[in-house]
Amino acid sequence: MSTGRRHALERALSKAGLCSRTQARDLVREGRVHLNGRVARDPEEPCDPERDEVRVDGRRLRENERVYVMLHKPRAYLTTREDPEGRHTVYELLANLDAWVVPVGRLDGDTSGLLLFTNDTGFADLVTNPASHVEKTYVVTTRPRLDAEALARLAAGVELEDGLTRPARVEKLGDRGRSTRFSITITEGRNRQVRRMVRAVGAKVDKLHRHRIGPLEIGDLPLGAWRALTTAEVTALRAAARSAKA
């Protein structure tokens, strides 16, 4: 057997996009990893994912099979694999996906919309790299209403605790009662950025929904459902990230 592609088991798990090497060591020590039909106990044990059968919690690890999916995330679902408080997580919605994937960026629990997953860590890093400036478009409902001056401030950039935001594209969609609905396109991925921007102009987000990342739109994908990205979609998003980064 060739040993040219043999890695430590923990590195093989990480390289496949399953988890970090620290998390991989924990998986092995917890007895959740099987190597060629037996429980693996040594994170440093060499293996070749192309030749050896590696399973984590019963699922086969396939290093060379790249998976890219989009999920229509509902509100009240956390972007994490497990929650100690027993709250819903996005991985419950991916239960019938026969692959280990990680989220490409995050959405907080109160935000719905487009969320990407992959086991291609290079792709995930490219899309989420701040230098890539990949556009993300949200539909926002705020309370109270925002006037034209406030929307213009959001577009120009507002000062947050971690610095001035980049210019954004803002389009008012209408007022209803005491609320304003608008879309905003940003090229950053700061923690809870849109919510903090809205707060900086004197309002609060009632609803927040992401419907686009780069050239990818959520379209008519039902709430709580997922689908695989097409090859053309993956190529287009990769190209958009590289173009913005150049």
Question: What tokens appear for 38 in the block?
Answer: 């037996």
106-128: buried (b, 16+ CB within 10 Å) or exposed (e) per residue? bbebebbbbbbbbbbbebbebbb
Question: What tokens appear for 139 in the block?
Answer: 């539909």
CA–CA dist 111, 18 (Å, integer): 25
Tell me if 60 sits within 8 A of 47, measured CB to CB.
no
Phi and psi of 23, rounded to 5°?
Answer: -65, -35
Count Cβ atoms within 10 A of the Cβ of residue 102 and give its class: 0-12 exposed, 13-18 middle, 19 or more buried. middle
108 catalytic residue (yes or no):
yes
Is the peptide bond prior to 144 cis by the omega test (within 30 degrees of 0)?
yes
CA–CA dist 228, 218 (Å, integer): 12
Task: Name the active-site residue from 83, 108, 125, 175.
Answer: 108
Tell me if 108 sits within 8 A of 192, measured CB to CB.
yes
Q: Which residues are catalytic?
A: 108
